[in-house]
């Protein structure tokens, strides 16, 4: 008895049924993400910007390897660490990390998080800053609409600095995040309290981002950027603010 290998459908000849078997994955789009990260040299950027203290002896997975694995897991929608135990067998993940015999397991990932401290967290923001600076130069950005908004992230257990948020009726973090409204580029995040209506906090964060973008970048140097800020303050009505360093912050 012969088995079906390829069968072209009559109602639409662009569709072919196949029963070849082989490796199957629902996350094949990740190979394009991997190609992009390879072209920009993401692994090298990570090595330069993130330097966590690793006291392990002869580890199978470096901390930066684990960071990249976690990035791909979250991009694919696997937010729980335990998903790593199954993804280690996924053909797409095995292809993306073809230089490794196996991927990090859930226990390895859990131990990795213990190596992250309050002092090392800013290193991850340096990666985001580096990528944003490159984007600003490569596409010659002259004007930016910086969209500042708060978001919520649930926490579990006894995570430090977590607060109850009455709006979401749950406990978690309430960071202030910044994106360029014209390109969608992520610019950074600032840890804050649930009471995001504090204008002083918004002004402080705005000045910090402006100063960083214009003067802290190895790419930008003394280039001038016109920055327009958008954020919600004490209510649903949007407020537009214009700020250029070293001028004072002013509301339009």
CA dihedral 96, 101, 105, 107 (to 10 degrees): -140
Phi, psi torsion values for 240, nearest 5 degrees: -105, 135
Residue 189 pairs in a beta bridge with 177
H helix count then E strand count, the chain: 8, 11
pLDDT at 133: 81
Residues of the chain scoring pLDDT < 70: 1-5, 11, 15, 17, 19-25, 192-207, 210-252
| Strand 226-232 relative to strand 143-150, pairing | parallel
Indicate the domain borders of the chain: 6-113, 121-251
199-231: pLDDT as tens digits: 655 666 666 776 666 554 545 545 555 566 665
* Tokens matching residue 71: 């990035």
pLDDT at 184: 86
């Amino acid at each position: 008895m012969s088995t079906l290998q390829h069968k072209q459908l009559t109602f639409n000849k662009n569709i072919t049924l196949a029963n070849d078997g082989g490796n199957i994955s629902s996350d094949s789009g990740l190979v394009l993400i991997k190609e992009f990260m390879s072209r920009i040299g993401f692994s090298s950027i990570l090595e330069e910007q993130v330097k966590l203290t690793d006291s392990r002896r002869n580890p199978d997975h470096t901390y930066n390897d684990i960071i990249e694995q976690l990035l791909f897991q979250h991009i694919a929608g696997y937010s729980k660490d335990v998903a790593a135990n199954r993804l280690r067998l996924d053909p797409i993940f095995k292809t993306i990390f073809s230089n490794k015999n196996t991927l990090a397991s859930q226990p390895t990932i859990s131990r990795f998080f213990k190596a992250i401290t309050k002092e090392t967290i800013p290193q991850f923001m340096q990666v985001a800053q580096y990528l944003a600076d490159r984007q600003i130069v490569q596409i010659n950005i002259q004007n930016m609409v910086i969209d500042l908004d708060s978001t919520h992230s649930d926490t579990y257990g006894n995570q430090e600095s977590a607060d109850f948020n009455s709006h979401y009726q749950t406990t978690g973090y309430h960071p202030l995040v910044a994106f360029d409204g014209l390109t969608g580029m992520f610019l950074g995040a600032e840890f804050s309290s649930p009471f995001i209506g504090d204008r002083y906090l918004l002004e402080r964060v705005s000045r910090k981002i402006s100063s960083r973008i214009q003067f802290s970048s190895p790419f930008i140097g003394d280039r001038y950027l016109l920055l327009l800020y958008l954020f919600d303050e004490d209510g649903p009505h949007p407020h537009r603010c214009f700020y250029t360093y070293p001028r004072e912050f002013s509301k339009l």
